[in-house]
Structure 1
Amino acid sequence: MHQRHFLLFSFLVFGLFFAGYGQSPVNDHCDNPVPLCFNEWIKGSNYNATTQICDQCSDWSGENSCFELQNTVWFNFLTNERGGSATIKIKNIQCNGDTNNTYYNKLEAVVLKADTNCLHTSYQFISNCQNSENVILFNIPNLSPEQEYMLVVDGMVNPSDSSILPASCEFEVAAYGNAIDPLVDAGPDVFTAPNVDAPLSGSGYGNPSWYPNDNITGSSIFNPSVFLDINTLFELTITQDIGCSYSDQVMVFVQVPLEVFNTITPNGDGFNDTWKINNIESYPLCKISIYSRWGQRLYYDIGYPESRQWDGTYNGNELPSGTYYYVIETGSNIGESTYSGYINLIR
């Protein structure tokens, strides 16, 4: 696994944040929840949310509810193939009219599973109802694998004064925990000879897509093979049915023979000031040693990036002109495992 990313489309964030100014939120209805992607904080609002869930849907005002809907917004999240525990947190609750007693200043929320979306008789409440003017936190154990859940956020009414309007608030919300982790993994870095099939080993919970999508046997499967003649970075993106996307990267190193230069002229003219090894970037685990004629090791490095190339010095002091000797252990089981030879240092 080279590098991991979690992505959330920004239009969801902006759509939620600005919904309070003259239009209903995009997730005003239970049939259009906004996804809570793993470990991504998004802004939400129930400004101008309606009291109806959706056209021709039954709301949950009845015996199986813990609060009546007022101005409700809906979110959903998916569990991975393992299931387990998850945390849902609502924070930074900022309510309209907190100081003028026109609106109440608390949100209420609950997490549920809906076997049939927007049918209240299928709802299973998997958390207690909570309300707060600051933070609402759900720590939920034993979530089923590969299951969609809903977070319902509503404006609370003042229990002691019915003339005060239900709370209309902005807030931030996120879902995280091992049950929601998409487990996206592009696999370990791959080392291959040129122009042979090299398998990739991706995994995750979602629909896969590889980029770049050329020189690959299938860009929409987890375990394709690639056919390359140069080092290439591949990115695996998985997209879930609710719209969350996650990515991870893997590097494919094509191990062609090294071309080792045998002369170094470190005089500051920009030519041969450091010892060059062509194609060394294909061997990130290589070990480089340089010795004097008496066997003293003067230089050692792993990977030999350009920023650490040997410049004819030892402990910061210039070495005299002469012949020095190198050993390159490539760490490869594909081609040559060891290169050795001499370097002419000319001043």
Structure 2
Amino acid sequence: MLDLRSSISWTWWNDYNAWGNNPNLKCINVPDAYFFGYYWNGRKDPTASYIDDIPPKFESSTQTICSKVNPTIQDIVVSGYNIKWFDSQVNGNELPSSTILNEGATYFAMNTAGSCEGPRSSVTITLKILSAPAATSPQILCNIQNPTLSILNITGDNIKWYRSVTDVNFISNTTPLVNGITYYASQTKNGCESSRTPILITIQNSTKPIVTSPQTFCIQQNATLNNITITGQNIKWYDALTNGNILINSTLLQNGITYYASQTINGCESERTMVLINIQNTPIPSANNSQSFCSTQNATLNDIAITGTSIKWYSATTNGILLPNSTSLQNGMTYFASQTINGCESTNRTPVTISLINTLNATNYAETICDDQNNGYEIVNLSSFNSNLIGSTTETFGYYTLRNAAENQISANQITNYSNYNLTIGEHTFYVRIDSPNSCHQIVELQLTLVSKPIITIPDIVPICENNSIIIDAGSGSDAYLWSNGASTSSITVINPGNFSVTVTNYYGGVSCSSTKVFTVKKSDKPSISLIETKDWTDNDNIISVYLTNSGDFEYSIDGINYQDSNQFSNVPSGEYTVSVRDKNGCGKVDDEVYLLMFPKFFTPNGDGYNDTWKIKFADAEEGLTIKIFDRYGKLIKMLTDVTDGWNGTFNGAELPASDYWFVVTRANGLEYKGHFSLKR
């Protein structure tokens, strides 16, 4: 062994080139193996081991081991290199690292390098046995609680949680639990952390109980929460969806109230489900309390007309005997009916008293009808009189023209258009067959008489001439008259214009038929002509227009015979006319003269007595007329003021040649007409 701790050996070793490798050198003792290995790595002899005389170091001569299950030598905290363990300070037995530690035992540690061994140091062991925390596994939790690690059932101090048995990082106890996962817990006491306890998690989803909503109960049932149909375990009832009050199962159910139920499985209470409660108080069925049947019908309870569901018949209003529907009806007997809806029978019953009869007690009926339009007919609905024939409404009706046809239901004499029957003036008898649901029938007469209303012939406008009176007659032969002026006679005398009315009435037994006429008495004046306008100078296409200063009901004529409503006459030949305007009501007439002028297209002044002069036709009847005649060059040839003579075709006594000549006619009102004609020789 080379001991470098002496100066001689150090000097020799330091002269590396002098000694080289020494294959016989196995151990080299150095002051500090760690230091030497770090700073003189290049001078180390790779065939030798280097070791110092420093033993393994402990924090103290005694060491407390936090015991897990069977702690071993490798759990001892020590610093050194290539440590070997022994059971004594010198010699003794070498101990493997798997040697189980014993309470109070001393163990000896030695650093080694290859076959080189250093001095030993010792440590005495104190064992702290700390068991893993106590917990059951698996643990079943309720999902509704949103479970975390903090709610697990475990016993221990300063619990730490891990995701695996070897995980070095612990997790928060607020970590949400996951179904099917195993979590690991240790406890720590006096600085010692125990081994870990595995806990398998089972999170149970507690489903709501199953219930139908709404649920209906009969009022007489006095149902409680116990009567609600619900599927689940350990049902609890509440008065609210969350929080609220827990209700005992004997709580009486209330109509229209919603109740809330949870179920508890393996200690886990579910969320709540709701159910709406209807408490049904079934009403009694509806029926006429008195019903009649034909004695020959052999009617049973099934034949009674009643509206309801699942009808039951009893012999009394309460309790009594339940009667089969085939029970024969007895005259004068009262039967009592209930109905059942949604399984709930009405608590009260409807009484029906039975009469067995041989007739329907229908009666004949007669009515007089006014002809409103005075057109000789009325469209009537014969069925509208059914209620006058019989009081009930369950029967069927047939309408016939003969009694025998009604009795034997002969279709040839049946009235099929009874809903819009054309009833004419006069008396009509119909035979009505009434059939009841109980097979009884009866024939009755329906007599309808259509009468005319008074006819009033007064026109809408009645004229009256100025300073005259007029008699207005509403017609004779009626039973009553009432005028708007209070008169009750068939006619009245009217002096002044105005609005009037009269109501005329005829009585037919207890029926009165009246007609009312509203009319106006209007003043009618004599016409007054303001202007007669003519469009002439044609042979047959002239126009006369007559204008008046007043308005009225007038008519016009230009021959005194034929009158028209229009004030204009067209296609009138030239000539002299008397225009007449008269009041249609005979209150006056006015006449005026009018002339439609025309000129000859040529004349022949040859002395033969025909067409020897040219003059305006009918000009002699119109005063203030002047005529000027010009030659083709515009030279004034003749001016006529006495239009009766005309022009003889000369100028200053000399005959003018055959040619066309022009004229201008000026009327007294200043209107001019220009034209031309031919002179022929």
TM-score range, shorter chain: 0.3 to 0.5
Higher relative contact order (CA 8 A, sep 6+): 1
Larger Rg: 2
TM-score, normalised to structure 1's length? 0.40
